[in-house]
Structures are given as structure tokens and as C-alpha cells.
Amino acid sequence: MGFLLILIAIAFFTFGILSKRNPTWGWRANEAWKIKGDSEPSDAYINDMKFWGSASILFGSFFLVCGLLVIFL
């Protein structure tokens, strides 16, 4: 069970770091198809992705601590 929690933590860390460093990486797949013509993500979308990246890193830390506690206790 502890190793599963650590794998979940790694997934959250990966998504979080990717969202913090490059917040526009999934914009074309998620939002761009809804808009006609050329467009770019808004500042609000970029800030939202950075926030969820930070939250994802926080959740990843929680799962990592829980996984380590399960393994070692």
C-alpha cells in the first residue's frame, strides 16, 4: 500500500512541476478547440494552472509522507 501512495505522489509531483514550469502545455487540447482562429491562453488560465500545479505538489507531498509512514511504521 505504501508503494502505491508513493507512485501517486510521483504522479502529482510530475503534474505539478509541469504545470508550474509550463502552464500552457495542455491548453490546446483542453481549451483551444473551443475558439475560432488563432488565440493564446489568457492570464487567468495561466495563473489558474500555476495554482493547481502548486496544489498538486502539495497533494504529492502529502501522499509521499503517508506512503513513507505506511512503509516504515
CB 29: neighbour CB atoms within 10 A?
A: 8
Whether 67 contacts 9, CB under 8 Å? yes
Domain boundaries, the chain: 2-24+41-72
Q: What is the pLDDT of residue 18?
A: 94
pLDDT digits 0-9 by tens, 27-67: 877 887 888 878 888 899 999 999 999 999 999 999 999 99
Does the structure show a pLDDT above 90 at 26?
no
Terminal-to-terminal C-alpha distance of the chain: 12
Give the predicted TM-score (pTM) of the model. Answer: 0.85
Q: What is the pLDDT of residue 11?
A: 97
Whether 45 contacts 27, CB under 8 Å? yes
